[in-house]
Amino acid sequence: MRQSAITALYSGPAAGVVGATRQAARSGFRDLITFDMGGTSTDVCLVQEGRPSLAAETEIDGLPIRTPVLDIVSVGAGGGSLAWVDDGGMLRVGPQSAGADPGPACYGRGGTEPATTDAHIVIGTIRPGAFLGGRMKLDGEAARRAFEPLAERFSLSVEQAASSALQLADANIVRAIQLVSTERGRDPRDYALVPFGGAGPLHAARIAEELGISTIVVPPNAGVISAYGLVASDYTKFDAVTRKMKLDDTAARDAGRIFGEMRDRLAAQFAGMKLPGTLDYTHTLDMRFVGQAFEVGVEIPADRLGSLDAAYLAGLFADAHHRTFMHGANLDRPVEIVTLRVGATLPIGGAPNLDREKLAARAPEQAKIFHGEAWLDCDRHTAEALAAGQQIVGPAVIEGYTATTWVPPGWTAGLDAADNLILRRSP
C-alpha cells in the first residue's frame, strides 16, 4: 500500500462489489448489478461473467484519477439522505444527508429533518423496536413529525409524503444503474440485482421493477458485505502502457509483444511481494477512430495473443463500439490503439464463506405496510430463522440483524443452500 497508495481510493465500495460477487457466485449467479445502499450514498457496479467492470479513470471531488478502478457510479441516496423542497417547489431527496450525527430524526439525537430511514419507519418497513436486532431503539413519533411539514406543504398524508420520498430515492438509484448498464450497452434485464448495505434490500424490489429485472439475490448479513469483501478479495494488480499506434498488422504484433513484457513485469511484482502462484491475466486495448478524443476498451482473449492481426482486432473493436454506442462502426475509417492494459490476479486461497446466524424456526408476525396508496397486511419474518427451501410470498418483510428485505406483492423469496435470499418476480 505504501508503494501504491492510490489503490486505496474507492477501496470500500470496491470491497462491497467483490464480496457481493463472490457470495452471489455460490448460488450460480455471475451476471450481476451490485447495489450498495448505506447511510449517505448508493454505489452500483455491473459484473459480467463474474468480473466487475473496470474504468480507466475516475474522479473524486472533481479531481481526475488516472488509474484503473472498478466502474462504480455513486449517487447521494442512503438511509440518511434528506427529503427537501427546492427553489422551484419540487420535492427532492439527497444528496444532503443527516449523517451519523445527529442522524435521522428517529435516532433521537436532535435531528429534525426527514430522512430515508424515517420514511421507512413511517410506512412500516422498518420497525422501531427491531433496529440492529432490537439493540437500538428508534423513535417512530419523531420520524412522523419530521415528515409532517412536507405532508402539509403538498397536501398529502404523512405516509404519502414518506412514500414519495422513497420513490425519489429509488429514481436516483435507477438512474445510476442505467449509467453502468444501458449507457454501457448492457440490458439490465439480463442481470440479477444484488443489493447490500443496510438499506439496499429495502429498496431492491421496487428498483428491479423499474428496470425490468426479475431476480434479486440478497446475501446473508447484507449490511456487512463490504467488510466481508476485504477479507475475501483476490490479489490484483494492473499495468498500463500508452502506445499510440495506427492499427495495422505490425501494430497488432507489437501489441502482442508488449502484452508479454507487461505480464513479466506484473509477475515480478507478485514475486517481490512473496505471493507465488499461478496468475490469471486479462488483456485490454483502448482503441478509437483516429481523431476521436475517447477510447473503447477491447478485451483480447488470451488464446489469441500469439496470433494478433489487424483484421481480428478491427472486428473486436467494431463489436465493442456497437455494444457501447448501439450503432455500427465504420471500419473504412482508420483505427488506432492508444493504451494497452494488463490485469494480473492471484486467487486467494481458503476464502471464508459468508453465512447467516441460524435461529430456531418461529412463526411470522403480522404487520401493516403502506404500499402504493394503501396499507397492506403482510407477514414479518426473521431472516436468521428462515429454513433453506422455505418460500415466502409477498407482501412480506424479512428482518435481519444488519438489513431488512421488503418483498412486495408479486414477488416470492426463498433461502437457498448458499444462504442467499433469492427474490423472484412472478411472470
Is residue 17 very low, low, confident or very high in pLDDT (cuts 50, 70, 90)? Answer: very high
Is residue 398 very low, low, confident or very high in pLDDT (cuts 50, 70, 90)? Answer: very high
Sign of CA dihedral 330, 332, 334, 337: positive
- Both 64 and 159 in a single domain? yes
Dihedral angle over CA of 127, 160, 92, 150, nearest 10: -100
Paired strand residues for 407: 396
ω into residue 219 within 30 of 0, thus cis? no
Query: What confidence tens digit (pLDDT) does each residue in 55-111 have?
Result: 777 776 677 777 777 888 888 888 999 999 999 999 999 899 988 889 999 998 888
The answer to whether 226 and 237 have CB atoms below 8 angstroms apart is no
Lowest mean pLDDT among 35-39, 77-81, 300-304, 348-352: 348-352
Res 274 pLDDT > 90: no
For residue 328, what is the domain's CATH number? 3.30.1490
The answer to whether 400 and 385 have CB atoms below 8 angstroms apart is no
Query: What confidence tens digit (pLDDT) does each residue in 334-369 have?
Result: 899 999 999 898 888 767 777 777 887 788 889 999
Measure CA of the first residue to CA of the last residue in the chain; give whole Å: 49
Global pTM value: 0.84
ω into residue 102 within 30 of 0, thus cis? yes
- Both 35 and 165 in a single domain? yes
User: Whole domain around residue 316: which residue ranges?
Assistant: 235-346
Written as nine digits, the cell of 85 is: 423542497
H or E element in which residue 218 lies: strand 215-218
Pairing of strands 235-246, 215-218: unpaired
252 or 394: which carries more pLDDT confidence? 252
Is residue 37 very low, low, confident or very high in pLDDT (cuts 50, 70, 90)? Answer: very high
C-alpha 219 chain-centroid distance: 13
Alpha helices in 45-132 (DSSP H): 116-123
What type of residue sits at position 26? R
| Listed residue (28, 411, 405, 23) closest to 219, CA to CA | 23
Query: In sequence order, what are the residues at sequence separation of 6 or more whose Cβ sits closer than 8 angstroms to the Cβ of residue 58?
Result: 9, 10, 64, 65, 69, 72
- Both 359 and 327 in a single domain? no
Q: Which pLDDT does position 359 carry in this prediction?
A: 80
E strands, 277-352, are 280-289, 296-299, 335-346
- Both 187 and 270 in a single domain? no
- Both 17 and 135 in a single domain? yes
| Listed residue (211, 191, 186) closest to 323, CA to CA | 186
Count of domains observed in the chain: 2
- Both 184 and 309 in a single domain? no
Query: In sequence order, what are the residues at sequence separation of 6 or more whose Cβ sits closer than 8 angstroms to the Cβ of residue 307?
Result: none
**Last residue in a domain, options 346, 370, 398:** 346
The region that residue 197 occupies, defined by phi over 0 for left and psi between -120 and 50 for alpha, beta otherwise, is left
- Both 176 and 249 in a single domain? no
- Both 152 and 278 in a single domain? no
| Listed residue (124, 122, 173, 171) closest to 151, CA to CA | 122
**Last residue in a domain, options 346, 373, 394:** 346
